[in-house]
Amino acid sequence: MYYLEIQRADSELLASIRHWDNLKAAISDEIILVKDFTEEQIHSSLLRQIPGIKLYELREQLLFFKGSLLPSKKLPSALLWSPIARALPIQLPKYNLNFFGIQEKVIIKLVPTDNVRTSFALLSKLEIVEKSIVVLPEIRVKSLQWVVLEKRALFLGTPLLPFKGITYWRLNNFLLPTGYEFELPLTSGIVEDLLNRGKENWILVQNDNSCIVIPKNDFKQLSLSSFRLSNKQVF
C-alpha cells in the first residue's frame, strides 16, 4: 500500500495523474493524501516528474518513507477518501457570451512529424522516369496507377518505384508528404468535405501548404506503353 503526500497549495501539480481513476484522495489540513496506486503507477515517470511529493508505505497503520525502515508518522485518522476526480474538481472557464472572434480563420498547414508512415505515392520528374522506367520488370509497374501533373508523374501504390522524387503517405483521400502531417489533424475531415464531397478525388497536399485536387478517374494503370504515349504528348 503506497501513499502519496503533497502540500495542499501544490494540488494543481496532481493534474498529470488525475486521470488515473483507481486513485482515492483525501484532504487533511494542509496536505493531500492519495492512495491505491498500482505497482506500475508508483514507478511511472509521470509520477516522478511531480515535484514536492512524498511517497510512503503503510505498515501497521504507520507511514514509512518509501524504502525506509523507520516510520515517519501515523496515518491521520478520520480521513474522507473519495475518487481523485471528485476530490480535486476542475473549474471550467466561464462561457464568454461576448465573444466576437467568430470571424477568425484557422490556417490549414503541415508540420513536420516523427510518426513513421508507409509511403503510398511518388511524385517524380518525367525526364527521370523516362530514363529509368524502361529497365523495370513489368511486375513492378503493372500494379501501380499513375497520372501526369505538368512535367511530373504521380504514381500511386506500393511497392514504390525506385525513382528519385517526393514520396507521399495516405490519409483517407489525402496524399501528404512523408514526414509531415496536418498541424490540426481533426480539421482534415472538414477540409475533405469542402474539397472532396463525393470522395472522387485525391487531394495532393504539398509542402508549401497548397494542394492539387486530382479526380480518381484520371489515374490510369501504369505500363511502358501508357508512359511512352503520354510522354510523347507532354513534350
Partner 1 sequence: MLNKKLPLAETIYQLRTIEQAILYDTILSISKAEEEDTISFLLDEYEKEKLNYPFQPPEFETKAALWAAKTIYFATQFLINRKETVKDFDNFLPTYNSAINPSAVLSADLCLRFLPFLLNEFSCIDPEDVVIPILEGFLTTFHYSSIGYDLKTDYQQLNLDILKQNNCLEQLYLNRITEKKALPFVEISFIKQRLMANFGDYQKVFWTDFELINNRDL
Q: Which residues bind partner 1 (CB under 8 A)?
A: 134-140, 159, 162, 223-225, 228-229
DSSP secondary structure, 94-159, as one string: PP-TT--GGG--PPP-EEE------EEEEEEEHHHHHHHHTTS-HHHHHT-EEEEETTEEEEESSS
64: helix, strand or coil: strand
Minimum CB separation of residue 153 from partner 1 in Å reads: 17
Measured from the Cβ of residue 182, the count of other Cβ atoms closer than 10 Å reads: 19
Closer to partner 1 by CB, 24 or 140: give it: 140
Q: Are 18 and 46 in contact (CB under 8 A)?
A: no
Minimum CB separation of residue 124 from partner 1 in Å reads: 18
Q: Which of 80, 106, 87 is nearest to 21 (CA)?
A: 87
Closer to partner 1 by CB, 37 or 227: give it: 227
Closer to partner 1 by CB, 90 or 139: give it: 139
Cα distances (Å, whole numbers) of residue 182 to 104, 170, 190: 19, 12, 12
Interhelix angle 224-234/126-133, nearest 10 degrees: 140
Helix/strand/coil percentages in the chain, nearest 5? 25, 35, 40
Question: Which three cell numbers, joined as nine digits, stand for 120?
Answer: 503510398
Minimum CB separation of residue 116 from partner 1 in Å reads: 17
Minimum CB separation of residue 202 from partner 1 in Å reads: 23
Minimum CB separation of residue 194 from partner 1 in Å reads: 36
Closer to partner 1 by CB, 53 or 121: give it: 121
Cα gap 99→115, rounded to integer Å:
36
Minimum CB separation of residue 135 from partner 1 in Å reads: 6
* Residues present in the chain in total: 235
Closer to partner 1 by CB, 145 or 173: give it: 145
Closer to partner 1 by CB, 76 or 162: give it: 162
